[in-house]
Structure 1
Amino acid sequence: MSKKRPLVAMAVLIVLLVTLLAPIFPMSSASAAENKNLIFDEANLLSEQDRNELNALANQYSAERQTDLIIYTTNNEEQKSDELLTEEFYDNRAPGYDKPHGNTVMLTLDMYNRDVYAAGFYKGEEYVDNSRVDKITAKIAPDLSDGNYRMAFEKFLNLSYEYLDLKPGVNPDNILFKTWFQLAASLAIGGIVVGVMTYRSGGRVTVNRATYEDSENSHVIDRQDRYIRTTVTKTKIEKNNNNGGGGGGGGTTAGGHSHSGSSRSF
């Protein structure tokens, strides 16, 4: 009996340690989902390393926002529209963070027509609506045109991750939501407060211009305005050469799943 007591005590100690350390070292949902495939590079645009790194980032962001972030590239041999390619992918492969046909934000790259289409389903449609997916395609189109696919896909993941954390209907490009602006504003406010405190701590200044001025003998002796010339400058207004322009809008898949959407050529 005495031999069993040390074993029982050790077992109890291990249970207590696990219980106490669990909040400190939690198993993240990203780790649990790290083997989930979210990058479907059927057009072979990425190296194996790029694919693996993007997939890891997509899994991390998907877990934190509880929305699958998917990238799908295709050579589109059947020459379908980019919207139809996206809708068929969603209907047939049933992505979703915690269930089939669930929360999803998806990027489809059609290499045959050189079109890109971004769409959001369910939570993705609510938070990454037509306006926001249009911003996404506009921001990644230049990289796609230059063949910088890895950079474009990473931007898509970062922008989707950002938009999924912003209240629907809010303009994500508003300067008030930029981290650098918030930091600068905080530093400015802090500087003003410190300046006011420093100014007040130095005592009140009672000397001014009138202290040493002889008002009876000081006056303006002459005033003169002389016209020289008028100068007119012209500024050329550059045309907005957007990559293909945004369009498409949302829709509903054949399976009845509503989505936001934006299509753009690159």
Structure 2
Amino acid sequence: MRRRYVVGAVLFFLVAYLMVSALMVKAADDKPLIFDEANLLSPEERDELNAMANEYGAERETDFMILTVNSVSNDDYETWTENFYDEYAPGYDRRHGNTAILTIVLDTRDVHLEGYYKAEEYLDAGRLTKIRSKITPDLSNGNYKQAFEKYIKTAHRYMGFEPGVNPDNILFNIWFQLGAAAAIGAIAVGVMAYRSGGRVTVDRRTYEDTSTSRILNQEDRYIRTTVTKRKIERNTSSGSGGGGGGGVSSGGHSHSSSSGKF
């Protein structure tokens, strides 16, 4: 009996040691990716978002970062974000590595996104603009946590598609694919059911008297041809509300970008 108690105690402390070690490793792996200087989030929300950013970032080998600030000098949020990247040097597995950054400037209601290295390739200006358009309604309504979650999840999803592909194409939508498969299946079943009823051999010729059913007279007259020309106007107006582009930080790091208001 005493030997059983000793063995049980040893196993208990061994399991406890392994659990604590695993928690310590996980805590070490969860590097800070949320910098909420504008206090838009509660401490619990920051912790949840930071854990999500680490989890999703590991799958794309990219740091998904969020920066919030009340104001920046000269309202130059792009230079401010570039300077942060140069000085803080984020990156999934190295300094100044793969990074996507969402910057929120509260006083001027600016939202700005940048992508570096792998993120610059997979999150180009067009994709960053799509992400920005998806999160702007939540930002405008003050739903910051929801907006930040959507940013992380959408950036993660977009990086799963090769550059140059529209990730929002309806053909990639799982519900569309299921619906199309169901429709094709229904059509196939319908065709088989129709053919299983036997072939219809009766047509109009069955009851037609060819001796009396003839065309008695036919006449075609050509009168004239009229051609009308109309100039098609081109729409040269452009949209508003921000735009996408890119640039190079003072440290020499190229990036994609997209900016707008919320």
Place the TM-score, normalised by the shorter chain, in its bin.
Answer: 0.7 to 0.9
Deviates more, 1:111-120 or 1:136-145: 136-145
The unaligned stretches of length 5 or more in structure 1 are: 1-26, 219-241
Question: 2:256 corresponds to which letter in structure 1?
Answer: S
TM-score (norm 1): 0.72
CA distance in 2, matches of 1:43, 1:67: 24
Is 1:162 paired with 2:169?
no
Q: Residue 190 and residue 69 in structure 1: after superposition, are their counterparts in 2 closer, same or farther (change >3 A)?
A: same
Match of residue 257, structure 1, among 247, 253, 256:
253
CA distance in 1, matches of 2:147, 2:68: 12
Aligned counterpart, 1:197: 192
Is 1:87 paired with 2:104?
no
SS at match of 1:249: strand
1:176-191 aligned at under 5 Å gives the runs: 176-191=171-186
Contact 1:39 / 1:54 at 8 angstroms: preserved in 2? Answer: yes
Aligned counterpart, 1:129: 124
Aligned counterpart, 1:51: 46
Aligned counterpart, 2:135: 140
Deviates more, 1:88-97 or 1:173-182: 173-182
Deviates more, 1:188-197 or 1:84-93: 188-197
* 1:65 Cα offset (Å): 1.0
CA distance in 2, matches of 1:174, 1:76: 37
TM-score (norm 2): 0.73
* 1:161 Cα offset (Å): 0.9
CA distance in 1, matches of 2:244, 2:75: 14
* Greater Rg by CA: 2
Is 1:247 paired with 2:209?
no
Q: 1:76-118: per-residue Cα shift (whole Å, max 9, x none)?
A: 2534411112101111111111111111111000112210101
Q: Residue 161 and residue 33 in structure 1: after superposition, are their counterparts in 2 closer, same or farther (change >3 A)?
A: farther
Question: 2:141 corresponds to which letter in structure 1?
Answer: D
Identity of aligned residues (%): 59
CA distance in 2, matches of 1:150, 1:210: 73
Is 1:114 paired with 2:92?
no
The unaligned stretches of length 5 or more in structure 2 are: 1-21, 214-238
Give the RMSD, CA atoms, in angstroms: 2.9
* 1:184 Cα offset (Å): 1.4
* 1:64 Cα offset (Å): 0.9
CA distance in 2, matches of 1:188, 1:216: 47
Is 1:98 paired with 2:93?
yes
1:201-240 aligned at under 5 Å gives the runs: 201-208=196-203
CA distance in 2, matches of 1:119, 1:155: 16
Aligned counterpart, 1:223: none
Contact 1:137 / 1:246 at 8 angstroms: preserved in 2? Answer: no
Q: How many residues align?
A: 217
